[in-house]
Amino acid sequence: MTGAGADRGAMALSVALLCAGAAVWLFARRDRELRRARLLFAGGGAAASAIPAAPDPARRLTEAAAGVRERWRVRYGGRMGRELLCLPAGGVVALLGASVLPLLLAAAAVPVVGRWLRRREHSRDCERHAAGVIELCSAVAGELRAGRQPGEALLAVAPSDLGERWGLVAAAARFGGDVPDALRRAARTPGAEGLTGVAACWQVAVDEGAGLAAGLDRVAAALRAERDQRDDLRAKLAGPRATAMALAGLPLVGLVLGSALGADPLYVLLHTPAGLGCLVLGGLLEWAGLFWTGRLVRSALASSGSRGR
């Protein structure tokens, strides 16, 4: 019992020293960046006198937090690096179980969780771009029926959910460029593939004089039907997915119940050969179940999308 307490105390001290070192490094680096910025914008020596001798600790903490937040926003695309939350969670479990194994597993889980978060963000971007294409078709069709020319109608809409390549389309419409080709280039944005149909309607309207508004209405109706089909399939798959997630969380419930009943399941799992074997086998089965469920869901959605196209 005394050895376990000493191990926990040493591990807690190590984690505290690691956090303190990281905080000191961040504060020192942020302070160097602020001094460099002041020297750059104030012209060298004049900035030295402008730097306060004893900066406010709360202000330094706020500036350091803002710098870290901005750095994470740039590096992780605005997600703030949420996968890094695995590290403090692993540290807490490591302290409770008096073992470094949970911290190592948490460090190994960081890239996996980051890839999963990026995949979710990519899926949300695709859905937002697809909705932007539908709104674009409806809005341009309405502007054309109001009497505007095609180029003017396209410039009057100016959607904001079609990615960075939409600037090529706006430039082509404003300066008399090849709008269908620009639309096909913008269709390479994930989720904005429907712009290929808009480009085809535009090309037919320019070459043969067909009604562009009617063609855009048909494209919007087809894309809306495809989106409704995907939403219906996701609603049907929500039940099996929730069941799989609930089953995946049952081992954690078992650990909590075992601790509440007076047992020490973390010690058994982390400090005995049988417990380590159960931990490895259970982790592999857990990963296999989640992987297989996710693969079934993705294959169902992919097959639905191909039929919709």
What would the DSSP string read from start to end of 36-69? HHHHHHHTTHHHHHHS-SS--HHHHHHHHHHHHH
Q: Does the pLDDT of residue 115 top 80, yes or no?
A: yes
Split at pLDDT 50, 70, 90, the class of 224 is very high
For residue 289, what are the CA distances in angstroms to 240, 249, 283, 296?
Answer: 12, 12, 10, 11
Confidence at residue 53, expressed as pLDDT on a 0 to 100 scale: 46
Confidence at residue 277, expressed as pLDDT on a 0 to 100 scale: 92
Q: Which residues contact 83 (CB under 8 A, 6 or more apart)?
A: 109, 110, 111, 113, 114, 117
Split at pLDDT 50, 70, 90, the class of 28 is very low
Dump pLDDT digits (tens) for 148-165.
888 888 888 877 677 777
For residue 55, what are the CA distances in angstroms to 31, 61, 144, 246, 272?
Answer: 10, 10, 61, 50, 52
Confidence at residue 144, expressed as pLDDT on a 0 to 100 scale: 87
Q: Does the pLDDT of residue 191 top 70, yes or no?
A: yes
Split at pLDDT 50, 70, 90, the class of 294 is confident
Dump pLDDT digits (tens) for 128-145.
888 889 988 988 888 888
Q: Does the pLDDT of residue 2 top 50, yes or no?
A: no
Q: Does the pLDDT of residue 20 top 70, yes or no?
A: no
The domain spans of the chain are: 133-222
Q: Which residues contact 167 (CB under 8 A, 6 or more apart)?
A: none
66-80, 150-164, 190-204, 286-300: least confidently modelled range: 66-80
Q: Give the CA angle between residues 147, 148, 152 to the nearest 5°.
A: 175
What's the chain's length in residues? Answer: 309
Confidence at residue 281, expressed as pLDDT on a 0 to 100 scale: 93
Of 226, 171, 168, 176, residue with least CA distance to 197:
226
- For tokens 């992780």, the residue is 76
The mean pLDDT of the chain is: 77
Q: Does the pLDDT of residue 212 top 90, yes or no?
A: no
Confidence at residue 43, expressed as pLDDT on a 0 to 100 scale: 46
- Most confident residue range from 75-79, 82-86, 221-225, 237-241: 221-225
For residues 15 and 46, give the distance between their C-alpha atoms in angstroms, rounded to a whole number.
42
Split at pLDDT 50, 70, 90, the class of 208 is low
Instruction: Give the mean pLDDT of 100-110.
Output: 88
Confidence at residue 225, expressed as pLDDT on a 0 to 100 scale: 92
Confidence at residue 222, expressed as pLDDT on a 0 to 100 scale: 92
Asked if residues 180 and 199 have their Cβ atoms less than 8 Å apart, the reply is yes
Dump pLDDT digits (tens) for 240-273.
888 888 888 888 898 888 888 888 888 888 889 9
Q: Does the pLDDT of residue 210 top 90, yes or no?
A: no
Q: pTM here?
A: 0.66
For residue 36, what are the CA distances in angstroms to 23, 30, 67, 145?
Answer: 20, 10, 14, 57
